[in-house]
A and B are shown apart, each in its own frame.
Chain A
Amino acid sequence: AQRVTQPEKLLSVFKGAPVELKCNYSYSGSPELFWYVQYSRQRLQLLLRHISRESIKGFTADLNKGETSFHLKKPFAQEEDSAMYYCALVTSGTYKYIFGTGTRLKVLA
């Protein structure tokens, strides 16, 4: 069965430190992977998707099919990055998002 695993419920880092939010998936086909972010009291919003290979707000994520991972990285964390981050998988040709349980990132001053 398809599954997304985010092993850390909470990640605390100091401002300016590097950040890596882990995401592993289980799917034998060609996945489409996303990172969504939810700031306090706001709705889920798309941060980035692996297809576009963009860098948004300094975040990047590379799909590693060998390790079935899609970790989210940022070299220098900012306080405004504090939020809930969800990794999501869409299997090819479908519309159902399969979400991980989320990681709360706290960036400390």
Chain B
Amino acid sequence: NAGVMQNPRHLVRRRGQEARLRCSPMKGHSHVYWYRQLPEEGLKFMVYLQKENIIDESGMPKERFSAEFPKEGPSILRIQQVVRGDSAAYFCASSPESPHEQFFGPGTRLTVL
């Protein structure tokens, strides 16, 4: 089992561009969670998804951010019109059920110029 995969590992965008972060959960896991880690801070919960459903997006900024987990393919975290404050490490985790121990991916480090 390859574990949770995230790509790209590093992403550079200019202000105003779109960022798309992908997460492939572990085999057999249908629950996906996204966390954001700003510099010098801990990981903060953003959104929890099951296949084709957003269960809890209470940690997601109301504007410019969206997430999906389609029936086929990876989960996508999309940030439109990025700003410098979006620069952070974005971690994805997955679990076979919930609540349950979560398994983390290596993260995507987003840098906004």
Please report A residues at the B interface, Cβ cutoff 8 Å.
4, 6, 34, 36, 42-46, 49, 86, 90, 93-102
How far does the Cβ of B59 sit from chain A's closest Cβ, in whole Å? 8
- A97-B106 in contact given A46-B101, A49-B101, A86-B42 (Cβ < 8 Å): no
Our pick among A44, A90, A100, A102 for the contact of B104 (Cβ within 8 Å) is A44
Chain B residue contacts of A43, Cβ below 8 A: 3-4, 104-107
Determine the interface band of chain B, counting residues with CB < 8 A from chain A: 20 to 34
Our pick among A46, A93, A97, A102 for the contact of B35 (Cβ within 8 Å) is A97
Inter-chain contact A97/B107, CB cutoff 8 Å: no
- Extra A-B contacts (8), CB below 8 Å, given A90-B99, A97-B35: A44-B104, A45-B104, A46-B103, A95-B48, A95-B98, A96-B45, A101-B40, A101-B42
